[in-house]
């Protein structure tokens, strides 16, 4: 395998890649632990410690901080999401955080987290095209 086949698309890592989810839903997901995510997590962690007057947070509290950081820096947009009346639900980081915290939507949080770690989502497009061509030939 050529080294170029594993090169990351650094713009996609920060700006997100469109990833199919369920039905017609497509999510724009950035790479986990990118620079924006790290900075947001650090700030939110410190804010939460001050708010709770705690030196350290519990595992549950840390996961909630991760969800908050991810709602701001990892899940960046969506398409095809509708309410029960069939009306489009516009993207917002606040709605994303609500859904990440909703125990009945745990699969959404899990999907976003896993896909944000999937390096294939953040490779350069020409690499994916080259791989497809080599598989079909």
Angle, helix 59-73 to helix 93-101, in steps of 10 degrees:
150
- Number of domain units in the chain: 1
Instruction: Report yes or no on 7 lying in a domain.
Output: no
| pTM for this entry | 0.84
Per the structure, the complete domain to which residue 102 belongs is given by 12-132
Going across the sheet that includes 75-79, the strands are 17-20, 26-29, 75-79
- CA 48 – CA 42 distance, rounded (Å): 10
Residue among 27, 1, 33 nearest 14 (CA): 33
- pLDDT class of 121 with cuts at 50, 70, 90: very high
User: Mean of the pLDDT values across residues 98-106?
Assistant: 97
In a domain, 40, yes or no: yes
State residue 44's pLDDT score.
Answer: 95
pLDDT of residue 131: 52
Helices H, strands E: what count in the chain?
6, 3
Residue 54 has pLDDT above 70, yes or no: yes
5 in any annotated domain: no
């Amino acid at each position: 395998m050529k080294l170029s086949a594993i090169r990351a698309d650094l713009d996609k890592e920060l700006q997100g890649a469109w990833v199919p989810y369920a039905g017609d839903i497509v999510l724009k997901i950035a790479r986990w632990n990118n620079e924006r995510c790290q900075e947001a997590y650090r700030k939110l962690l410190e804010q939460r410690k001050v708010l709770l007057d705690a030196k350290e947070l519990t595992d549950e509290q840390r996961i909630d901080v991760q969800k908050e950081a991810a709602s701001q820096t990892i899940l960046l947009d969506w398409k095809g999401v509708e309410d029960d009346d069939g009306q489009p639900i516009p993207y917002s980081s606040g709605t994303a955080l609500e859904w990440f915290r909703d125990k009945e939507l745990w699969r959404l949080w899990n999907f976003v987290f896993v896909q944000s770690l999937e390096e294939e989502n953040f490779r350069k497009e020409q690499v994916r095209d080259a791989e497809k061509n080599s598989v079909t030939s």
